[in-house]
Every structure is written in C-alpha cells, then in structure tokens.
Amino acid sequence: MGDAATAPAADEDRLLKQFFSEVSEVERDNEVNRILSCFKLNAFEYLNIPFDSSLDDVKRQYRKLSLLVHPDKCKHPKAKEAFGALAKAQQILHDSEEREYLLNQVNAAKEELRAKRKKQLKKNTASKLKSLVDEGKYEHEYERSEEFQQLLKLKVREVLTDQEWRRRKMQMRISEEEGRLKKDEEETKEMWKRKREHEEQWEGTREQRVSSWRDFMKGGKKVKKGELRPPKLKTEDPNKSYVQRPVNRG
C-alpha cells in the first residue's frame, strides 16, 4: 500500500528533474533575480504562490523553485543566496505561528481594500451596477481577479511594513527601559557599597574613639601630643552666669 502511494510522487519528482534539466540559463537567472527582488517580509512572495495556498502547495512549489535555482544547476552568481531565501520562506510557512501571523496581516489588508471598494461603489451608482454585472454579482469573484490580487499584494506589503516598524519601535523602547533599569540597579548597588564601606570604616575606628573618650573622662592622665584637651574654667570669673564651685583660697 505504501509503495503504491509513493510511486506517483517518485515519478513526479523524476519528471520534474528531467524538465528542469532542459530549462535555459536565462530562465534560471530570471528566477534568481525575481527571488532576490521579493519583499523580504512576505514568504508567499518568495515562493510565488497565492495567500490561500495549502502546506502541500508550499512543499510542491518549494521543490520546483529550488530545483530551478539550485547552485549546482544555476550559474547565476547569487544562486546560492536565492536558494537560501526559498528555504527560509518554506520554513516560515511551515511554522504555525509565523504562518498565522502572515495570514492575519493578509486578512487585515483585505479588509482595508474591501472598505475602500465599498466606499467607492457607494459614491458611484453606475459603477456599482456595472460591478454587479461584470463580476457576476459577487464580490468574491472580483477578489479572485488579477486586479484585486495585485492590489492585495501591494497592500500586504504596506501592512507588513507598518507592523515591522511598530515591532522595531517597541523593541527599541523595551531596550531603552531595560537600559534604564540596569543603570538604576547599578547605581543602587554602588550606593549600598559606599554605605557598607562607611560603616566598616566607622566600626574600624571604634576602639580608637572609645579609648580617646576614656582618656578624656579620666582627666588625670597626660594628654597625648596632638590631642585636644577641653579648657579649664576660671571659677573666679565674676561674669559667668552659672553657679561655680567655691574656690579654696587657703
């Protein structure tokens, strides 16, 4: 059962390789140039597939284009770069989060175009009637037209660019805030460091301060050279307002 299922895929792969072995260098070079000129934020553009393509579509298209620009087959000097861009685009579209993000931007672009078209048709009754006839009375048919797809492609570029700018701006703000917090943290650490050093210095001179105080309180000991000694009161001074001890004039 498994062999029967893989046989068609193997035949398709063989035919694909055979077909691209006959592709001219001009065609290969043109594809390399197309890939390298794609809008960098849109993986769908690199693979040149519609926004509603399935994962199988992505896989098949990647296989096809990678054979076309493979560095071993293509002589273009930037074939390797184009090949790498295709691989990255396929990886993005197979990542559920990345794919969902892209599709959300596509839907946002569609809504903008629909709102703009609705506004235009509302202003022009003749244009509205014509659109109902030309498009089979259904707006979704218009959205499948080449005109709408080109408009959508440009609008998606615009939306993705705006979102990328917002992301970078937010990242810049986050970086600035992180830098400010780091600076505050360093300043706080430095403050506590200085405080500890001051406390250690104060503690280190405790014995010296206590000893000096004891010597001062004893009073009878000779004051060491360089130390200050409080002046003696002249108790016979009549101008003192406080009560003095009696002086023994014996």
d(CA 160, CA 106): 9
Under the phi-then-psi rule, with left for phi > 0, alpha for psi from -120 to 50, and beta for the rest, what region is 102? Answer: alpha
177 or 87, which is more confident: 87
Q: Which of 45, 71, 94 is the last residue of a domain?
A: 94
pLDDT of residue 186: 81
Mean pLDDT of 153-168: 91
Question: Same domain, yes or no, for 79 and 130?
Answer: no
Question: Same domain, yes or no, for 90 and 175?
Answer: no
* Percent of the chain predicted with pLDDT > 90: 37
**Stated pTM of the model:** 0.58
150 or 191, which is more confident: 150
pLDDT of residue 228: 55
pLDDT at 161 over 70: yes
Please give the structure tokens belonging to residue 129: 């009637």
Question: Same domain, yes or no, for 112 and 190?
Answer: yes
Containing structural domain, residue 191? 106-204
Per the listing, tokens 């609008």 go with 155
Decide: residue 58, CB within 10 A, 0-12 exposed, 13-18 middle, 19+ buried. Answer: buried
Mean pLDDT of 141-166: 90
